[in-house]
Structure 1
Amino acid sequence: MRINRYLAKCGLASRRKAEDYIRAGRVMVGGEVLRDLSYQVQAGDCIRVDGKEVRMEEEVFFLYHKPVKVLVSHHDPFHSRLIYDDLPKMDSLFAVGRLDFDSEGLLFVTNRGNLAQTIAHPSYQMEKEYWVFLDRPLPAIDEAWTRAGLTFRGIHYRPDHLEFLTKEEIDGRSYALTDWPPEGSGNGQLVKIILHEGKKREVRRFFQGLGYEVIRLIRVRLGPLNIGGLRAGQYRPARPEEISALEEWASMVRKGNN
């Protein structure tokens, strides 16, 4: 197996980034700095990156329901609860897709760097579906919001799709969501929003730009992956058909961007 692919399968980086590590002299094989980008890893090779031995782990793929007040990070100096506290103890796991501290919903977690980077890359435009509860009724949905978008604090936001979300639609889905819509939250508004850009806090800031506050936000879909029956804090291995759907999508978008 070629060295850049091996390092990617170790969960260290993408293949292209792994080549940057080699060029920078950060990779050693058998105690010597490796310079050959085409090096084929042999059985018994001791490979180190920045002095630390790396080993190829079995590829794993998890769907995880992030609760509110849980941080998408490996470390936090303020000792917040981290998503990795709920997941198997593997050094190379990382989550795909942002969800801020006060939001909840679906994350894809893996140790396979190249697939994760494709999913996360904004130019590949993976759809993300969110259910949002606003602080007060939204009289109507203006087509201009999805056609032209809006600019808030110097940043432009444009969702792909917006529609009112009914209680009947929520009840008709098999999602294991507790207290949804939030009880005692008054005369609010349920909205479904689909987008792909991946800007920081974009759902909250889009509605803030319209003059609304997001009371609760949950991501229920990430491309072909749905949150299904996962309760907050739970995870499960991705099913073979889900991985196949991701692989098919990744192959399609890579070809489209070449």
Structure 2
Amino acid sequence: MKQRLQKIIASSGISSRRKAEDLIKNKRVKINGSLASLGSLADPESDDIKLDGKLIVPEEKKYILLNKPEGYVCTMKDTHNRPIINSLINISERIFPIGRLDINTSGLILLTNDGNFSNIVNHPKNRIVKRYIAITKKPVTFQICEALQKGFYLNDGFVKVDNAIPVNNNIGIQIDIHIGRNRIIRRMLEHLKNPLLNLKRTKIGNLNLYGLELGRWRTISKDERDKLLS
């Protein structure tokens, strides 16, 4: 299938899309022996695509599930020299996190080099539910669970969860939610005057942390991916 050339170059792990555009502008890329230009389309399966005379080979797609510890950031680089989650994963392919967990949140996060997979998992319209366990400063009441499920307005719009139930003798709350916004659970609980002490994500769709120690990772199987996206 024909794709934009800069997308093919980025998917091969050679560079970002923006840097791929520079490679094309600088006349370093050829398709089937002819110089490429911005806007060129190519089929990575059938076309001969070369950078500086070397064949560009599509990078193998990787799908990783990580049990993230607190203290790690979900970025490719960090200007404050904090540890990044990619340092926990010893593979050669360039992968990126699907969504984020903030530095003080632990638990399940997915990483990949497949942009289409990432977009499907992240988009709210696909209603892939994420489960969190939150430990709060005060006991969790029925009224808090009801308010989370009915929803309310924050400064960036209306928010609600799919399900909320007390756990751990009411000192915590299990939250299922399919929408994703920056620090949404922390902000929702602060709005309800019961701030977080600890937050952990335990599930994304059918994927969970069963048997996976903190800081460890594993590959997501094709069957698991198919079920997640079904």
- TM-score, scaled relative to structure 1: 0.72
Check if 1:64 corresponds to 2:75: no
Where does 1:192-203 land on structure 2 (aligned, <5 Å)? 192-203=174-185
Q: Which residue of 2 aligns with 1:117?
A: 119
* Greater Cα offset, 88-97 or 55-64: 88-97
Q: Which residue of 2 aligns with 1:33?
A: 36
- Percent of pairs with identical residues: 23
- For structure 1, the residue ranges without an aligned partner over 5 or more in a row are 168-187, 249-258
Q: Which residue of 2 aligns with 1:207?
A: 189
Q: Deviations 1:23-70 (Å, cap 9, x if unpaired)?
A: x9699325723356553344653148xxxx964111111110111110
Say if 2:141 and 2:166, in contact at 8 Å, map to a contact too.
no
Say if 1:118 and 1:124, in contact at 8 Å, map to a contact too.
yes
Alpha-carbon deviation of 1:8?
Answer: 7.0
- For structure 2, the residue ranges without an aligned partner over 5 or more in a row are none
Alpha-carbon deviation of 1:154?
Answer: 5.2
Q: Which residue of 1 aligns with 2:76?
A: 74
Say if 1:64 and 1:106, in contact at 8 Å, map to a contact too.
yes
Distance 1:137 1:166 in 2: 10
Alpha-carbon deviation of 1:126?
Answer: 1.6
Check if 1:143 corresponds to 2:146: yes
* Greater Cα offset, 82-91 or 225-234: 82-91
What letter matches 2:37 in structure 1?
A: L
Rate the CA distance shift 1:83–1:155 in 2: closer, same or farther, 3 A.
same
Alpha-carbon deviation of 1:12?
Answer: 8.4
Distance 1:39 1:98 in 2: 32
Indicate the RMSD between aligned Cα atoms, in angstroms: 3.2
What letter matches 2:96 in structure 1?
A: F
SS of 2:117 mapped into structure 1: helix
Where does 1:32-111 land on structure 2 (aligned, <5 Å)? 32-34=35-37, 37-41=40-44, 42=46, 44-47=48-51, 55-90=57-92, 92-111=94-113
Distance 1:74 1:40 in 2: 28
Q: Deviations 1:100-119 (Å, cap 9, x if unpaired)?
A: 01001101111111111111
Say if 2:153 and 2:159, in contact at 8 Å, map to a contact too.
yes
Q: Which residue of 2 aligns with 1:170?
A: none
Q: Which residue of 1 aligns with 2:128?
A: 126
Rate the CA distance shift 1:35–1:135 in 2: closer, same or farther, 3 A.
closer
More strand by share: 2
* Greater Cα offset, 71-80 or 236-245: 236-245
What letter matches 1:236 in structure 2?
A: R
Q: Which residue of 2 aligns with 1:230?
A: 212
Rate the CA distance shift 1:83–1:242 in 2: closer, same or farther, 3 A.
same
Aligned length: 219
Say if 1:98 and 1:198, in contact at 8 Å, map to a contact too.
no
Distance 2:141 2:41 in 1: 60
Distance 2:97 2:38 in 1: 31
Larger RCO (alpha carbons 8 Å, 6+ apart): 1
- TM-score, scaled relative to structure 2: 0.80
Distance 2:106 2:129 in 1: 17
What letter matches 1:192 in structure 2?
A: Q
SS of 2:102 mapped into structure 1: coil
Distance 1:12 1:113 in 2: 15
SS of 2:49 mapped into structure 1: coil
Distance 1:32 1:11 in 2: 21
Say if 2:149 and 2:162, in contact at 8 Å, map to a contact too.
yes
